[in-house]
Amino acid sequence: MKATIEAAREREFRTADLASEARHARERYDLYKAKTYGPKLTSPAKLRELQRASNLADARLRSAWVAPHPGATGDTTAEDDS
């Protein structure tokens, strides 16, 4: 039981870290995208790179959310005692 609780906490911390990374990547992309509307020159390659990084961070976060919980067997059938 203790190992399951520790695994759940570790998963929660990992998910929080991934959410933070995704938010940071999205903010960097959004800021650079906004900069493209200004008078200074911007790089289309850098914009694509930031968008790709943002998409990858979101994908990692989504996959962490749908991953099975540690210790879950996936078997929901109960044993028959008869």
pLDDT of the residue at 51:
98
On whether the CB atoms of residues 73 and 14 are closer than 8 A, the answer is: no
pLDDT in tens, 8-47: 888 899 999 999 999 999 999 999 999 999 999 999 999 9
Copy the structure tokens of residue 58: 């979101």
- Listed by start position, the domains of the chain span 2-66
pLDDT of the residue at 70:
58
User: Is the per-residue pLDDT at 77 higher than 70?
Assistant: no
Entry pTM: 0.73
If pLDDT is split at 50, 70 and 90, which confidence band does 69 have? Answer: low
Residues 6+ apart with CB under 8 A from 64: 11, 14, 15, 18
